[in-house]
Amino acid sequence: MARQEQKKDVVIVGLGWTGSIAGIELAQEGLEIVALERGHDQNTVPDFQYPQQIDELKYGVRLKMMQKLSQQTLTVRRSGDETALPYRSLGSFLPGNGVGGAGTHWNGLNWRPQPAELKLRSHVVENWGEGIIPEGMNLGDYPVSYDDLEPFFTQFEKVAGISGYAGNLNGEIREGGNPFEGWRSEDYPMPPLPTTYDSSKFQAAAKAMGYHPFPAPAGIASTAYVNPYGMQMGPCNFCGFCERFGCYQYSKSSPQTTILDALKRYPNFSYRTQSEVLRVELAADGKTATGVTYWDDAAQEEVFQPADMVILSSYQLNNVHLMLLSGLGEAYNPLTGEGTLGKNYAYQMNGGITMFFREEEFNPFVGHGANGMVIDDFSISQNDFGAEGFIGGSYWRSGTFNGQPIRNMPLPAGTPAWGAGWKQAIGENYGHAMSIGSHGSHMAYANNHLDLDPTYTDRHGRPLMRMTFNWQDNDLRMNQFMKSKMEPLAASMNPDLMQAGFKNIGAQYDVRPYQTTHNTGGHIMSENAREGVVNRYSQTWKAHNVFAMGAGNFVQNTQYNPTGLVGALAYHTVNAIRTQYLSNPRPLV
């Protein structure tokens, strides 16, 4: 018999970005709230403090901030005819762990998707007709538009403390900003950060080719900053330890720097760490949830936490897993197309070019995760899908983000991997390379999905979740298109040597090397219960008192880093809860 805790109005599963947002906004309503966090508690000091935190081996290589796979993992396969095997060693993606979640160890790239991306199916159909949509692609519209979300993008950016320069201010296109972005009702909360040498060089080359460079929007403070909750950030010193690290400088936007201390002041909010939620409990009729059951690691026992409302705000993979285990929707079957839970798992299609300049010094140790100049000239709204033969787009960025010696030693292809030849090459090349990255969209496909694994179970005896995922021609063609456009730009900068890294047609997904932690979909938003798992307010179609936050809501992945959309959807959701749901709990659509 599980221990039972006192009933709460709201239970929040996972205290990262969206859990913190839900916590503070609903705490303002006076609700009794408890947040359950699988990992440990962590604060800037002492957990991220200098110099212990900037230990590349411990955090960059041994990934001490990340999810412990012995505690929780999933299985992976590329297609229905393979047997999925457990993800036993972190590689392709790195879910976070502990209070603050992935919001503590991200790079700080904070984007809004383009308006066309949120209505992509309509964009394609209106411009080129349904015929260009490849067989097996689940192309959809989000049930919310850019205009619906604009106030919430703005709200999240103010809370998160984003630095940048608006290119489209209320419809007015501004020189030096991104002319292809959706309209902004206000400029960024902070001015853009200074530019490093490589990004200036890229900026000049891009301009010369008629492109439109602008500073990358950064969840990295360029000035001192006080957000609407009174939380504070300090200006970044360009130490170059963002991704995989907590920020010791209070400069990176995170739940710690922007929400948590304000949230902890509410007497009606509390949180418990080392508390791993095992399932959402449904009422007998299956139409509402009664609370959650979690594993209390300290007491080594199961606990039932009753609550009137459940907010699922764990990482996308864990949200989907929990929903599959709890029956919060019908599991998706790729063969029949029936069911919705686990559908439309998507990722990101990236590539890039590294250029070596013997006579140039780039000082790569000066940088930050969201450093650089960007062009959106090959973004989704700019590409002629009909003519190019793919649906998608990417943004290109150039800017050093770290010069860490173990992981950031770009060397010419063919250099020996060890010994005297390697040493000599390091001596010759360290600090003499710069790169341009292409960060591309990833569509959703019938085959790429998440379900429960038939073989493997976790330490609680629950089936692991199974990921079935492989690269698809459409996105690979997009990637090759980017290569063909990027090479002339790189060549125009006259490097001594350049080498491209873009996946070729026919490339197979390899789960071992790190690619990106932008896992999306699985509990997607939809206009109706037939097509997705949650409605436009992230409310599950199955149980109206369960709301699922995060990138699991993405209908297909955008070309950008997901945090901006995740944050906006979270504020859009809590606004609906505050203004529509609390007074009359019911399905909102």
Partner 1 sequence: MKTFLRIVAGLVVLGGIALLAFIFVPVQRTQPVAELPADWQPEPGQGEYVLNASDCVACHTSDEGGTLAGGKAIASPMGTIWSTNITPDPETGIGNWSFDDFRGAMIDGVEPDGTHLYPAMPYENYRLMTEEDMRALYDYLMTEVQPVKNEVEETALSFPFNLRFGIRAWNWLALTHGPGFTPAEVSDVQDRGQYLVEGPGHCAACHSPRSPFMSQDGVTVDDANFLAGGVINGWNAPALRGEDSDLNRWTVSETAAYLATGRNAHSTANGEMGLVVEHSLQKLTDEDNIAMAAFLKGLDGDAVEVPETLAPRAGSIEVPEADKAGEADTAMLIDSDPDMPLGARLYTDNCIGCHFATGKGAPEIFPELQGNRLVNGSETKPLISVILNGAEVASTAKRPMTLRMQGYADRLSDEEVAELATWLRGAWGNDAPAISAADVAAVRASAASH
Q: Is residue 43 at the binding interface for partner 1, with CB under 8 A as the rule?
A: yes
* Residue (of 518, 519, 481, 514) closest to 500 by Cα position: 481
Closer CB to partner 1, 273 or 415, in the complex: 273
Closer CB to partner 1, 371 or 559, in the complex: 371
Q: Which of these segments, 229-237, 329-337, 453-461, 547-555, binds partner 1 (CB under 8 A)? A: 229-237
Smallest separation, CB 234 to partner 1 (Å) = 4
**Residue 275 — left, alpha, or beta (φ > 0 → left; ψ -120 to 50 → alpha)?**
beta
Smallest separation, CB 91 to partner 1 (Å) = 32
Q: Is residue 222 at the binding interface for partner 1, with CB under 8 A as the rule?
A: yes
- Which of 131, 171, 230, 506 is close enough to bind partner 1 by CB under 8 A? 230
Please name the amino acid found at residue 222. S
Smallest separation, CB 371 to partner 1 (Å) = 16
Smallest separation, CB 259 to partner 1 (Å) = 9
Q: Is residue 257 at the binding interface for partner 1, with CB under 8 A as the rule?
A: yes
Q: Is residue 98 at the binding interface for partner 1, with CB under 8 A as the rule?
A: no
- Please identify which of the residues 442, 518, 523, 544 carries the catalytic annotation: 518
Q: Tokens 């000035």 sit at which residue?
A: 223
Closer CB to partner 1, 236 or 374, in the complex: 236
Closer CB to partner 1, 24 or 139, in the complex: 24
Q: Is residue 45 at the binding interface for partner 1, with CB under 8 A as the rule?
A: yes
Reduced to 3 states, what is the DSSP secondary structure of residue 12? Answer: strand
Q: Is residue 514 at the binding interface for partner 1, with CB under 8 A as the rule?
A: no
Q: Is residue 50 at the binding interface for partner 1, with CB under 8 A as the rule?
A: yes
- Which of 87, 156, 250, 294 is close enough to bind partner 1 by CB under 8 A? 250
- Which CA distances in Å does 131 have to 12, 124, 455, 463, 476? 43, 9, 40, 40, 19
In contact, 356 and 430? CB cutoff 8 Å: no
Please, which of residues 263-282 interact with partner 1 by CB under 8 A? 264-265
- Which of 28, 237, 494, 528 is close enough to bind partner 1 by CB under 8 A? 237
What is the rounded CA–CA span in Å between residue 104 and residue 42? Answer: 9
Q: Is residue 261 at the binding interface for partner 1, with CB under 8 A as the rule?
A: yes
Closer CB to partner 1, 239 or 311, in the complex: 239
Give, as one character, the DSSP assignment of residue 98.
Answer: S
Range 3-7 contact pairs with CB under 8 angstroms and sequence separation of 24 or more: 3/296, 3/299, 3/301, 3/302, 3/303, 3/304, 4/303, 4/304, 4/305, 4/306, 5/34, 5/303, 5/304, 5/305, 5/306, 6/306, 7/291, 7/306, 7/307, 7/308
Give, as one character, the DSSP assignment of residue 581.
Answer: I
- Which of 146, 156, 180, 225 is close enough to bind partner 1 by CB under 8 A? 225
In contact, 181 and 377? CB cutoff 8 Å: no
Closer CB to partner 1, 4 or 49, in the complex: 49
Q: Is residue 46 at the binding interface for partner 1, with CB under 8 A as the rule?
A: yes
Task: Give yes or no: 518 in active site.
Answer: yes
Please, which of residues 187-206 interact with partner 1 by CB under 8 A? 189-191
Q: Tell me phi and psi for residue 68, to 5 degrees.
A: -85, 115
Closer CB to partner 1, 222 or 545, in the complex: 222
| ∠ Cα 171 176 181 (to 5°) | 40
Smallest separation, CB 262 to partner 1 (Å) = 4
Beta bridge partners of 522: 343
Q: Is residue 223 at the binding interface for partner 1, with CB under 8 A as the rule?
A: yes
In contact, 212 and 376? CB cutoff 8 Å: yes
Instruction: Say how many C-beta atoms besides its own lie within 10 A of residue 104's C-beta.
Output: 26
- Which of 138, 154, 249, 293 is close enough to bind partner 1 by CB under 8 A? 249
> Within its chain, how far is the Cα of 557 from the centroid?
10
In contact, 440 and 299? CB cutoff 8 Å: no
Smallest separation, CB 556 to partner 1 (Å) = 34
What is the rounded CA–CA span in Å between residue 222 and residue 249? Answer: 12
- Which CA distances in Å does 499 have to 220, 319, 438? 30, 39, 14
Q: Which of these segments, 48-56, 143-151, 313-321, 469-477, binds partner 1 (CB under 8 A)? A: 48-56
What is the rounded CA–CA span in Å between residue 9 and residue 33? Answer: 6
Q: Is residue 55 at the binding interface for partner 1, with CB under 8 A as the rule?
A: no
What is the rounded CA–CA span in Å between residue 351 and residue 54? Answer: 27
Please name the amino acid found at residue 118. L
DSSP state string for 272-302? ESSEEEEEEEEPTTSSSEEEEEEEETTTTEE
Q: Is residue 226 at the binding interface for partner 1, with CB under 8 A as the rule?
A: yes
Q: Which of these segments, 164-172, 247-255, 378-386, 557-565, binds partner 1 (CB under 8 A)? A: 247-255
Q: Is residue 429 at the binding interface for partner 1, with CB under 8 A as the rule?
A: no
Closer CB to partner 1, 251 or 429, in the complex: 251
Q: Is residue 231 at the binding interface for partner 1, with CB under 8 A as the rule?
A: yes
Closer CB to partner 1, 161 or 567, in the complex: 161
Residues binding partner 1: number (CB under 8 A): 34
Q: Is residue 228 at the binding interface for partner 1, with CB under 8 A as the rule?
A: yes
Q: Is residue 381 at the binding interface for partner 1, with CB under 8 A as the rule?
A: no
Closer CB to partner 1, 95 or 189, in the complex: 189
Q: Which of these segments, 4-12, 185-193, 197-205, 314-322, binds partner 1 (CB under 8 A)? A: 185-193
In contact, 179 and 173? CB cutoff 8 Å: yes
Q: Which of these segments, 228-236, 423-431, 437-445, 565-573, binds partner 1 (CB under 8 A)? A: 228-236
- Which of 234, 306, 327, 412 is close enough to bind partner 1 by CB under 8 A? 234
Please name the amino acid found at residue 371. N
Q: Tell me phi and psi for residue 199, to 5 degrees.
A: -70, -30
> Catalytic residues, which ones?
518
Q: Which residues bind partner 1 (CB under 8 A)?
A: 43-46, 49-51, 189-191, 222-235, 237, 239, 248-250, 257, 261-262, 264-265
